[in-house]
Amino acid sequence: MKTLQSLCILGMAATTFAMAAPVQAASFDCAKAVTKVEKAICADDGLSSLDDEMAAAYKLALKKGNASKIKSAQKDWLQERNSCASDDSGAYANMNACIKEQYNYRLFDLSRMVYLPQKLKACTDLVIDEKHTRFEGATPGEAGGEAFIVMKHHVGFFVVSVDGLSEKDNADKYMSNTKDFAKGDKVKVCLTSVPRDCPPGDDRGKGYSITNYKNHKTFSGTPDWHSCGGA
């Protein structure tokens, strides 16, 4: 039987090894990282984790969608991500914040192709991860405080309406505060409508019904703030 002292030594060794081990990104070899952005990703656990998720979603998206268009969009995105090294817009606190947002944007685009139903009346199961407002720090129910319900795999929905909610009640304020749709709840997501007369390659504005298995409550939502052809 291992003594307490030997267990402590083993634990310290494991911790030392973990601290010394370099973070590894999934989409490129950190040993060959050259650019400031690549080095920043390899040095940050959070960014490396986002890179892992993006690489996995990209691989799945290539199998499900138009591979040529997806590769082209990925190339454009990489340029946007790498531009974080020289960003002087003042929109971000630092380079890592810029990189993180670029990954979130790309994950959102890829994940909707991979994890959301693409055919009318098709459904899938997702799990609620968190809730946001359209603008960080905005008041729910007011302009900019529109509720955005985020599922695992970086899929999210703006709230269009809530079944059973009276007209005098604000749907965004309700969704931001209610426990009827809470973190960890498993929901059934079904594609209920698709936009028409959209420009080629622009399918924004799809409508979904999201039903909570625990209480059978439903809300309607869309992943997009603007419908196709919009800003």
Q: Between the CA of residue 202 and those of 92, 109, 121, 195, what are the distances in Å?
A: 28, 12, 20, 9
In a structure prediction context, what are the per-residue pLDDT tens digits for the chain, which is 231 residues long?
Answer: 434 333 333 343 344 333 344 455 668 899 999 999 999 999 999 999 999 999 999 999 999 989 999 999 999 999 999 999 998 888 888 999 999 999 999 999 999 999 999 999 999 999 999 999 999 889 998 999 999 999 999 999 999 999 999 888 999 999 999 999 999 999 999 999 999 989 887 889 999 999 999 999 999 999 999 998 776
Rounded CA gap, 227 and 203, in Å? 8
Q: Are strands 155-162 and 218-222 parallel, antiparallel or unpaired?
A: antiparallel
* First-last CA distance in the chain: 67
3-state secondary structure of 188: strand
pLDDT at 11: 40
Q: What global pTM score does this model have?
A: 0.78
Q: Between the CA of residue 129 and those of 14, 118, 126, 189, 192, what are the distances in Å?
A: 31, 22, 9, 14, 22
Residue-range domain boundaries for the chain? 4-115, 123-222
Rounded CA gap, 63 and 228, in Å? 24
Cβ proximity of 37 and 81 under 8 Å: yes
